[in-house]
A and B are shown apart, each in its own frame.
Chain A
Amino acid sequence: MRLVVALSAAVVLASALIYTSFSAASPALTPSQLLREAQPGRSYQLTGKVAAGTVHHVGEGLDFSVADRAGGAAIPVAYTGTVPDPFREGREVIVTVRKQDGRYVGERDSLITKCPSKYKTAPAVEKQNY
């Protein structure tokens, strides 16, 4: 009897978890995919390489363009927040973006740069404060 109660509780909690994860998740897209599929207002995880010559400091923020790994379409992103140490042109990055008024705005502190070395390095993810 106790087992049944415990299992049901577990199932209920698990369902809540599963449901929210699907709705809270942001899909990972490459720049070419983003250009095709992006809907305004939804957030996406943009993954790709920082295109050469596109990094500029603009006031408090950073503008840069993200291109497909294999080269090609580059999407300009207006980003504010912490810039991880390994960030530079040619590095692979993941940044959460939202399409606003035709521009792509990077979510604050969401920039992650993949470290080039093959082994462990820094997680540069910003923790959201609650």
Chain B
Amino acid sequence: MAELGRICLLLALIVCVYGIGVSLYGARTGRLEFSDSGRRAVYALAIVLTVAFAVLELAFLRNDFAFNTVADTSSRTTPTFYRAAAVWSSQEGSLLLWAWLLSLWSSLALFLVRRRLRDVSAYATAILLGLGGFFIALMIFYASPFQTTTPKPAEGVGLDPLLRFPTMMIHPPMLYSGYTLCTIPLAFAAGALLARRVDADWIRATRRFAMAAWLFLGIGILLGARWSYSELGWGGYWGWDAVENASLMPWLTGTAFLHSLMIQEKRGMLKVWNVSLVLATGTLAIMGTFLVRSGILNSIHAFGGATLGVPFVVLIGVLIAGSIYLVVSRREMLRSEHRLDSLLSRESIFLANNLVLVALCFVIFWGTYFPLISEAFTGNEASVGPPWFDRYTVPLALMLVLLSGIGPVIAWRRATLANARRNFVVPLACGALTALGLLAAGVTQKPLALAMFCCAAFVFGSVGQEFVRGARARRAMAGGAPPAALLGLVRRNRRRYGGYVVHVGIAVLFVGVAASSSFQHAVEQRLTPGSSARVGAYTVRYVRPTAAITPKNDTAHTGSTLDVGAVLDVSKGGRHVATLRPSQGFYDSGEPAQGTVGHLIGGQAVSHISMNGGLTRDVWTAIAPDISTPALQRIVSVGNRTLPADEAGVAIGVLAREYLKNPPPAQFHFIVSPLVMWIWIGGLIVFGGGLIAIWPTPSAVRRRVALRSRARASHGLARA
């Protein structure tokens, strides 16, 4: 079946080349049948890539180890779910996933605009097919998922144990959907510039795709952070690592775009800014995809030599150069129609928000690519660490949250100063009360966190006020009980109130971040059974060790050979809070050089952390047990010498029993983080708000509104 896969890739490339040619021809000559054929080429591409993906997926599910990727990342003992998801754990498979998702989302986008924007979408089709073709060419010439070896290996290497977590397997499809969705507004923006039609219709079409990209990307980022926190052994959710930053940057510019888009919609301003933001978002998304695979930056995710580096650099160069050329050559067309009416207007707050977001993006960009920059200027590759990032992003984040509370209170176009002053009373009071309350409670040492809490309170007050007043206004107009009024209000003003919900979510998220970073208690200690450690207000006692051998054919577990851990008793003020069982799993390395027994536990060691989560705090524990003591090592070496391969497991059992009998001191890591749960809750709120904002209004409401507005418009004229 690998031949089918290879044929699919080749066919896909041909379809891309054909589609590009025919779309451009249709765009230049205006002949619709060619543009239509180009659009359909995208549909065809989606079908072909679906078949290719299915071939690969089936190979994984059937354990067809003739496929190199299957042999490299899966094995007979890998549970089915992880086998299915292992498709995208390799370079080749992930490229296929990217191309496939691009074809799917592009098909959807082009289908939705098939009757409008024909000239723009012809160019957009060519660009999207160009990107797709690039990835497909990469697969055909550099990293094919359908390479096979004969004779077929009997068993595969297995999935890296660090990836055997559900969150981690959903993270790439989400993130890639975000990245590929970012390229759609890019394609339409470039198309609009090429067709010289950057107008209201373009905005209307682009807005939803930009929102969808923003949503998926945000979910992908949050999932990555959640995985890092709840599954990995370091207990953090964000490390300013190059790849984390790479996914955050397009999200920031995307957020800026969603705001400044509204200014262009209303006032015909900021056209150059908007197209630049869209082009930047798409380019940053491609750069994010590239960073993981290129080895240019010294990060954990860098893959030693730059196998795919050169083609990607060329692509990004083309994107940047092309974007600059398009914007500069069309600048006449992109002149603003109006100017800002007043500084005291929602438009100017949005402008400020844009500046902060772009500044954030720039800071992160600079810090992430600094090793390259410093190498270019000084010849030395140097990098900046989290403290540098924190120093600049924290004040900017504070400004962002503050602005998100100011915006809802200011009217569009030109706000009435007296009203604005009055409207700030409640939010300011909330902020002030929070400040006083926290200071009175003794929270004085962390001014930045304090500032964030006050800003968040400000946002809650501001948005809460908006909901209350809005519901009240609706009741005055249409009657009904308060809950119904609230619902009706949101239904008929989804963009505004969906946006408000997102602001609340962001504020909640930052409260969680501020609290869990500033007021965290972390302790690393070596403990023997029976001894305890103090972490903040909690006491953690090492009750007894645990050691378990996982059976060979366990489909539910992650498949470690030996799992060594501890039972911990967590208490606060003498009262029992939780019993936690962190452990570390030792996996098979498959290297015979380590001996028949040695290799069984000589592979990856993965922390299984144990956590007690709560609304006010998380108690997080991890253990790094020591199985390299002389006594335990002796068991391994004796087993290596005396036991045949199929009985080697016996030695592991002996080792486990010995560990339980004479447990050596183990290294523990305890962290008590306040309010971490609110980061995830905040993320869910953001997601909900985003859904509200993106949801189309039911047509009945739309027609009523349109007719009523129209009636009023002509009524107004009759009056005038």
Point out the residue from B240, B362, B385, B448 that lies within 8 Å of A14, measured CB to CB.
B362
Known contacts being A18-B366, A129-B517, is A122 close to B302, with CB within 8 Å? no
Report B-chain residues with C-beta under 8 Å of the C-beta of A24.
384-385, 387-388
Taking the complex as formed, is A4 at the interface, i.e. its CB lies under 8 A from any CB of chain B? no
Contact of B383 among A13, A26, A86, A118 (CB under 8 A): A26
A to B CB contacts below 8 Å, 21 in the list: A21-B366, A21-B370, A24-B385, A26-B383, A28-B383, A45-B382, A45-B383, A60-B525, A85-B607, A92-B304, A110-B385, A112-B300, A117-B162, A120-B171, A121-B163, A123-B244, A123-B300, A125-B240, A130-B387, A130-B394, A130-B517
Check A21/B626 contact, CB under 8 A, given A118-B303, A130-B394.
Answer: no
- Docked Cα-Cα span, A41 to B280, in Å, equals 41
Complex alpha-carbon distance, A93 and B94, angstroms = 25
Q: Within the complex, which residue of B73, B518, B606, B628 is in contact with A85, where a contact is CB–CB below 8 Å?
A: B606
User: With a CB–CB cut-off of 8 A, which chain A residues contact B363?
Assistant: 17
**What are the 4 tightest A-B residue pairs by CB atom distance, in nearest-first order?**
A125-B239, A25-B382, A123-B241, A27-B382
A28 in contact with B298 given A21-B370, A119-B91 (CB within 8 Å): yes
Residue B301, interface by CB 8 Å:
yes
**A122 near B91: Cβ-Cβ < 8 Å:** no
Q: Which of B197-205, B226-234, B650-658, B684-692 forms contacts with chain A?
A: B226-234
Within 8 A of A (CB), among B363-385: 363, 366-367, 370-371, 374, 378, 380-385
The 8 Å CB contact of B162, one of A26, A60, A86, A130, is A86
Contact A127 B374, beta carbon cutoff 8 Å: no
Please report the C-alpha to C-alpha distance between residue A19 and residue B233 in the assembled complex, in whole angstroms: 34
Chain B nearest CB from A92 CB (Å) reads: 8
| Interface: B122 (CB within 8 A) | no
Q: Do A124 and B232 have beta carbons less than 8 Å apart?
A: yes
Asked if A70 is an interface residue, CB under 8 A from chain B, the answer is no
The reply to whether B94 and A119 form a contact with Cβ atoms under 8 Å apart is: yes
Per the 8 Å Cβ criterion, residues 83-130 of A in contact with B are: 83-86, 88, 92, 94, 96, 110, 112-130
- State the CA gap A22–B381 with chains docked (Å): 11
Query: What residue in chain A is nearest B607 (Cβ atoms)?
Result: A85
Complexed CA–CA distance, A123 and B94 (Å): 19
Contact A13/B355 with A26-B385, A47-B298, A121-B160 known, Cβ cut-off 8 Å: no
Chain A residues at the B interface, C-beta cutoff of 8 Å: 6, 10, 13-14, 17-18, 20-22, 24-28, 45, 47, 57, 59-60, 81-86, 88, 92, 94, 96, 110, 112-130
Whether B355 pairs with A114 at a CB distance below 8 angstroms is no
Most chain-B CB neighbours within 10 Å: which of A18, A20, A86, A130?
A: A130
Bound CA–CA A128/B389 (angstroms)? 10
A60 touches B160 (CB 8 A): no
The 0/1 profile, CB within 8 Å of A marked 1, for residues 375-411 of chain B is 0001011111111101110100000000000000000
Interface residues on B, range: 35 or more
A125 to B384, CA, bound (A): 12
- Inter-subunit contact B388/A123 (CB<8 Å): no
Is B90 close to A, CB under 8 A? Answer: yes
Q: Which residues in B have their C-beta under 8 angstroms from that of A129?
A: 517-518, 520, 522
Q: Is B300 a contact of A113 with CB atoms below 8 Å?
A: yes
Contacts of A88 in B (CB 8 A): 605
A120 engages B301 (CB within 8 Å): yes
Q: Taking beta carbons and an 8 Å cutoff, which residues of B are in contact with A?
A: 73, 89-91, 94, 160, 162-163, 168, 171-172, 228, 232-236, 238-241, 243-244, 292, 298-304, 355, 359, 362-363, 366-367, 370-371, 374, 378, 380-388, 390-392, 394, 446, 448, 517-518, 520, 522, 524-526, 604-607, 624, 626, 628, 667, 669
- Candidates A22, A85, A127; contact of B233 at CB < 8 Å: A85
Question: Are B381 and A127 in touch, CB under 8 angstroms?
Answer: no
Among the interface residues A57, A82, A88, A123, which one has the most CB atoms of the partner chain B within 10 A?
A123
Q: Is the CB of B301 within 8 A of A121?
A: yes
Contact of B160 among A47, A92, A112, A117 (CB under 8 A): A117
Q: Is the CB of A115 within 8 A of B382?
A: no
Query: When the two chains form the complex, which single residue of A14, A21, A92, A128 contacts B386, counting CB atoms closer than 8 Å?
Result: A128
Nearest A residue to B239, CB-CB: A125
Contact yes or no, A122 B232, CB < 8 A: yes
In the assembled complex, the Cα of A91 lies from the Cα of B668 at a distance in Å of 23
Supposing A115-B300, A115-B301, A127-B236 touch, asked if A81 and B370 sit within 8 A by C-beta, the answer is no
Q: A85-B604, A115-B301, A128-B390 are in contact. List 18 more A-B contacts (CB 8 A).
A: A17-B362, A17-B366, A18-B366, A20-B391, A21-B366, A22-B382, A28-B371, A45-B382, A59-B526, A85-B233, A85-B606, A116-B160, A118-B91, A120-B292, A128-B386, A129-B518, A129-B522, A130-B387
Q: Are B384 and A27 in contact (CB under 8 A)?
A: no
Q: How far is the CA of A122 from the CA of B674 in the complex (A)?
A: 23
Residues of A close to B392: CB separation below 8 A: 17
Point out the residues of chain B lying under 8 angstroms from A92, CB to CB: 304
With A47-B298, A60-B524, A119-B91: A28-B382 Cβ-Cβ less than 8 Å: yes
Beta-carbon contact of A82 and B234 below 8 Å: yes
Question: Nearest chain-B residue to A81 (Cβ)?
Answer: B524
Most chain A Cβ neighbours within 10 Å, of B171, B303, B378, B383:
B383
Closest to A14 in B: B362
| Interface hub of A17, A94, A118 (most chain B Cβ within 10 A) | A118
Q: In the bound complex, how far is the Cα of B667 from the Cα of A50, in angstroms?
A: 20
Residues on A with beta carbons closer than 8 Å to the beta carbon of B386: 125-128
| Chain B residues in 8 Å Cβ range of A123 | 228, 239, 241, 243-244, 299-301
Between B233, B244, B363, the greatest number of chain A beta carbons within 10 A of the residue's beta carbon is seen for: B233
Contacts of A113 in B (CB 8 A): 300
Known: A85-B162, A118-B303, A130-B390. A125 touches B172 (CB 8 A): no
Please indicate the chain A residues that have their CB under 8 angstroms from the CB of B94 in the complex: 119
Residues of A within 8 A of B89 (CB): 117, 119-120
What residue of chain B has the Cβ atom nearest to residue A88's Cβ? B605
Q: Are B160 and A115 in contact (CB under 8 A)?
A: yes
CB-based contact A124/B234 at 8 Å: yes
| Known contacts A85-B605, A117-B89; A26/B382 CB under 8 A | yes
